[in-house]
Amino acid sequence: MRAMTVIRQLAVLTLAMVSLGAHAQSLYPTSNPQSKEFTFTGRYHYIERDYAPAVVIPRVSEAPKEVKSAEEALISQFSAVDALDYDWWLSTFDEPAQKQMLSAAGNAEAGKKDWKQEWQPKAGKLNVKLTRWMISGPYVIVAYTLSTADQKGTGTLPEYATAFKLWDGNWRATLDLQGDPVLLHFADTKSRFERVVRP
């Protein structure tokens, strides 16, 4: 009889856990519900400097053997774009980023094909102008604008940013900061943001 009671209790607990996601209920009597929340404040410190004046980056004809700065890594990256050299471009990233991009593509050939389709219309036509340099922890973030010779209008160009870090003694682009607030909000005028993590 006692064994049967234990089995029944386990069955009730299992059923409660299974239905928790759809309609959470307590197994035992509880008081009336009260909505509560807490606020966690995270501060992200970084240093920012403007390029004065803004710098239009040059191009190189081959991948450098040593990359001693984040700017050199970005120059190498866009030089690879101009050359439509996927392997060179991929090598400008650190190893975890390379693996992540190859995994997302499914295989190396698919990744190379998609990359060429995206960049072929822009290869050799992009004017890359550095606007600001930031440092956050071990990362250097370089912000820049992209334009082409046939672009018209005097509107402000949007800024893009790439994060870099030292990897095996050379500066490489990284995806470590994909969801980092500094990288996501560097161009915003506000310095304080609030996000509901779990409604």
Identify the weakest region by mean pLDDT among 57-61, 158-162, 188-192. 188-192
**Domain extent at residue 102:** 47-185
The answer to the question of residue 8 being in a domain is: no
Distance between CA atoms of residues 120 and 82, nearest Å? 8
Q: Which residue has the higher pLDDT, 97 or 25?
A: 97
The answer to the question of residue 6 being in a domain is: no
The answer to the question of residue 78 being in a domain is: yes
What CATH code is carried by the domain that includes residue 122? 3.10.450.50
Most confident region among 2-6, 11-15, 101-105, 168-172 by mean pLDDT? 168-172
Contacts of 142 (CB under 8 A, 6+ apart): 70, 71, 74, 130, 132, 133, 134, 161, 162, 164
- The percentage of residues in the chain with a pLDDT greater than 70, rounded to a whole number, is 83
Q: What is the pLDDT of residue 24?
A: 72
Helix 95-105, helix 108-119: angle, nearest 10: 90
Distance between CA atoms of residues 19 and 27, nearest Å? 12
Q: What is the pLDDT of residue 154?
A: 45
Q: What is the DSSP letter of 65?
A: S
The answer to the question of residue 65 being in a domain is: yes
Q: What is the dihedral of CA 117, 84, 99, 141, to 10 degrees?
A: -100
What's the pLDDT band for 21 if we cut at 50, 70, 90?
A: very low
The answer to the question of residue 25 being in a domain is: no
**Averaged pLDDT for residues 90-113:** 91
- Asked if pLDDT for residue 69 goes beyond 60, the answer is yes
Q: Give yes or no for a contact between 50 and 135, defined as CB atoms under 8 angstroms apart.
A: no
Question: How confident is the prediction for the chain on average, in pLDDT?
Answer: 84
pTM: 0.76
> Structural domain tally of the chain?
1
The answer to the question of residue 35 being in a domain is: no
**Averaged pLDDT for residues 174-186:** 90
- Residue-wise pLDDT for 120-159, tens only, equals 999 999 999 999 999 999 999 999 999 987 665 445 789 9
Positions of E strands within 95-138: 126-136
The answer to the question of residue 71 being in a domain is: yes
Q: Which two tokens stand for residue 72?
A: 């050199």
Contacts of 72 (CB under 8 A, 6+ apart): 64, 171
The answer to the question of residue 172 being in a domain is: yes
**Averaged pLDDT for residues 20-31:** 73
Give the chain's end-to-end CA distance (angstroms, integer).
44
